[in-house]
Structures are given as C-alpha cells and as structure tokens.
Amino acid sequence: MKVLITGVAGFIPSHLAEGLLEQGFEVLGVDNFATGFANNMVQCQLNPNFRFEELNVNELAQIAPVFNQFQPDYVFHYAAFVGVKRTLESPLSVLSDIRGIENILELSSKAGVKRVFFSSSSEVYGEPVEFPQNEDTTPLNSKLPYAVVKNLGEVYLKTFQKEYGLNYTIFRFFNTYGPRQSGDFVISKFIKAALQNKPLTVYGKGDQTRTFCYISDNITATIKALQNEDFANKIINIGSNSELKILDLAKKVILLTNSKSVVEHLPPLKEGDMTRRLPTIDNMRKLLGKDLKVLDEGLSETIEYFSAYVED
Ligand SMILES: NC(=O)c1ccc[n+]([C@@H]2O[C@H](COP(=O)([O-])OP(=O)(O)OC[C@H]3O[C@@H](n4cnc5c(N)ncnc54)[C@H](O)[C@@H]3O)[C@@H](O)[C@H]2O)c1
C-alpha cells in the first residue's frame, strides 16, 4: 500500500511517516521546508520504502506529477502554515493553504485514492461554547484565518465525499507534543527555555487551560484509523482529556528540568489564545485501545530529547 504524506519534514508528519514505514507501507513524503527540517526525516531516509520530494502543495503544477507517478492508495494532507503567532502575523499565507486543500482533493479524487486524512485542529471550535468539545454536536465557532481554513478544509472533504465519493477521515488535533516539535509551541518553548534557565513566558495569568497528547498516542490512533473502515467519513478529536492550566504546565516543566527559570507574565494576547480546551476522546480511546501516556512521562521523554540539542 502506498501513502502520500504532505508536510513530511514537520513534527507530526515525520513521526507518522516512521509509523507507517514500520507497518510496511511505502511512503512518499513532500514538503517545502516552510517550518519543517530535513533532519526530521533522518530515520525515514534509512528505509528503502521512503522517498522525499521538495515541493509546495499549494502549487498545482508541483503536486500534480506526484499523483501521476506515485499513484497513492492513501493521502495524509498534513502540510499547513502553522503556529499561533505566525498565522496571526501572515493571514494571507494561511489562506493560500485553501489552494493546497483543493489540489489534494481534486487530484485524490481523479487518482481513485481510497481515503484522504486531514489534520484539522481544535481551533475549529474557536472560543469555547460548551465542554467537553464533541466532534458531532459542539458548534464550531472559528473566526481566525487558521481556524477558518481548517473549518473550510473539513467542508471541502465532506463535499468531495458527497459529490465524488472520495472517502475521508478528519483528525481534530488538540495540542500534540513530543520530540522534534518546533519552538513555536508551548511545551517545546517552555522546555527549551527551562533547559537554558531562561524565563518561561506566560500570556496573562496563565489560567487558560489546554490538554496535551503525546506524539506516540497521536500516531497510534491515526494509523489505526487508516486500518479501520469504521472511521471512514468520520471526524475524530485527537487529544487528551486531562486539563492543565498553562501556569501549572510552566511550573511542572521547571520542576522536571531542575531549572532555575522563573515564570514571567506577559500581557494577554489580543486574539488567538482560547480560554479553555477539552475534547471528548471516546473515539480516540476506541482507536488506541490502551491508556494515554501520562503527561509527566511524555514530558520527561521530550525533555531528554531536547537536552541533547539545547546548551545550558
Ligand atoms: N502540533 C499540534 O499540536 C497541532 C494541533 C492542531 C493541528 N495541527 C496540524 O497538524 C499538521 C502538522 O503540524 P505540526 O505541528 O507537525 O507542524 P509542522 O510545522 O512541524 O509541520 C508542518 C509541515 O508542513 C510543511 N508545509 C507547510 N506548508 C507547506 C506547503 N505549502 N507545501 C509543502 N509543505 C508545506 C512545513 O514545512 C512543515 O514541515 C498541520 O496541518 C497542523 O495545522 C497540529
């Protein structure tokens, strides 16, 4: 079975590629290195079933030949312009990802792809209206460009299914963390700062909550979704249901790294920093078939990884 992964030099997609290669899939990964790194693919490159092409999925002329030549059975469309600060500062770059979504769906439909998997986000829920956030019943309140593009991506997938019978699975990722995550995200940012004894910066009082999903749980669940037809044409929250205040996360990281860092409070962000996140994870639990990794354990593994790269 052949799988195309877009954004393969990124954090989650590179781990996904490793997981699929381990299961015996042939993987073609593409990336334009907007936020990804060649180093993230070192493990994949050791496997003869892995190939990589540098290209921009938002350009039809660049991505179309890949479908003709590789003829994927499955496509994971994970390439996206990411990072809260970056997406707020460059909304037009975010909106250009709509072209990538259209390209992937049109090409997948023509090529007879069996299923397209899309990395949506908890951000589609926007400022929360109810808890826990349920895939089928919680209203979507997305307003910012990044969230609206993910929301529109979901609409595109459902429409292609309806009009052309192209099957999909939508993953709404809530904060996933682990080795290789870029420094734009809260856990990797805190760990890097703590390892260097620099201040951990928190927006406002730090009482906004998030849930954190370790990368291996994300990958196990998403690969099992591919292997189970019951999850075709479904939306699945991928996250944890253990809620933590950002201030408490900062204190935990300082403790686990034995750091001399202090917490520094910055003015609250004007937009984009939701007060609370909490998903229903019944679907994810069915896929995983085991308990999720405990945060302290996942943090320790992530700290070990970053310790090798960050100097005191
Ligand atoms: N990490 C999370 O907690 C989280 C939460 C919600 C959603 N997501 C989604 O999961 C996916 C992966 O995120 P990640 O955290 O691994 O980020 P990442 O930045 O590490 O990975 C994204 C990859 O996509 C590539 N890319 C971006 N635009 C591209 C383009 N036009 N053409 C080709 N490649 C392109 C980047 O270079 C990068 O390698 C993204 O779609 C993101 O929106 C992640």
d(CA 175, CA 277): 9
Q: What is the mean pLDDT of residues 234-241?
A: 97
32 CB near ligand 1 (under 6 Å): yes
- DSSP-based three-state secondary structure for 85: helix
pLDDT of 188? 96
Residue 3 has pLDDT above 60, yes or no: yes
pLDDT of 46? 98
- Fold held by 182-211+241-278+293-307: UDP-galactose 4-epimerase; domain 1 (3.90.25)
Q: Measure CA 124 to chain center.
A: 13
Residue 36 has pLDDT above 90, yes or no: yes
**Nearest in space to 253 (alpha carbons), one of 209, 175, 201, 293:** 201
Residue 63 has pLDDT above 60, yes or no: yes
CB-neighbour burial class of residue 90 (10 A; exposed 0-12, middle 13-18, buried 19+): middle
Residue 312 has pLDDT above 80, yes or no: no
Cα–Cα distances (Å) from 292 to 149, 174, 196, 289, in that order, read: 29, 14, 29, 9
Tell me the pLDDT band of 204, cut-offs 50, 70 and 90. Answer: very high
Cis peptide before 132 (omega within 30 of 0): yes
- The tokens for 240 are 């944890």
176 CB near ligand 1 (under 6 Å): yes
- Distance from the CA of 35 to the center of ligand 1, in angstroms? 7
239 CB near ligand 1 (under 6 Å): no
Under 8 Å between Cβ of 44 and 67: no
Tell me the pLDDT band of 311, cut-offs 50, 70 and 90. Answer: low
156 CB near ligand 1 (under 6 Å): no
Confirm whether 146 is a catalytic residue. yes
Give the sign of the dihedral formed by CA 33, CA 38, CA 39, CA 40.
positive
Read off φ and ψ for residue 54, nearest 5 degrees. Answer: -85, 115
For the chain, the helix, strand and coil percentages under 3-state DSSP, each to the nearest 5: 45, 20, 35
119 CB near ligand 1 (under 6 Å): yes
- What angle, rounded to 10 degrees, do the helices at 186-195 and 246-256 form? 40
Ligand 1, residue 40: give the atom nearest the CA.
39
* Domain 2-175+212-238 = CATH 3.40.50.720: yes
Residue 76 has pLDDT above 70, yes or no: yes
Residue 41 has pLDDT above 90, yes or no: yes
d(CA 191, CA 206): 16
Q: Is the pTM of this model over 0.95?
A: yes
**Nearest in space to 187 (alpha carbons), one of 211, 164, 155, 221:** 211
pLDDT tens by residue, 19-32: 999 999 999 999 99
**Residue having the nearest C-alpha atom to atom 32 of ligand 1:** 56
pLDDT of 273? 84
Task: Provide CATH 3.40.50.720 ranges for the chain.
Answer: 2-175+212-238
d(CA 83, CA 81): 7
Catalytic residue among 74, 78, 125, 146: 146
Cα–Cα distances (Å) from 108 to 16, 137, 191, 287, in that order, read: 19, 29, 39, 25
- Distance from the CA of 68 to the center of ligand 1, in angstroms? 24
Ligand 1, residue 122: give the atom nearest the CA.
6
214 CB near ligand 1 (under 6 Å): no
pLDDT tens by residue, 112-137: 999 999 999 999 999 889 999 999 99
Q: What is the mean pLDDT of residues 176-180?
A: 97
Ligand 1, pocket-test mutation among 12, 98, 102, 172, most atoms within 8 A of CB: 12
Under 8 Å between Cβ of 153 and 124: no
d(CA 103, CA 126): 26
pLDDT tens by residue, 242-275: 999 999 999 999 999 999 999 999 999 888 788 8
- The tokens for 104 are 């992937």
Strands 200-203 and 213-214 come out as unpaired
Residue written as tokens 């990958």?
219
- Distance from the CA of 82 to the center of ligand 1, in angstroms? 6
Residue 37 has pLDDT above 90, yes or no: yes
Q: What is the mean pLDDT of residues 36-50?
A: 97
Task: Provide CATH 3.90.25.10 ranges for the chain.
Answer: 182-211+241-278+293-307
Under 8 Å between Cβ of 200 and 250: yes
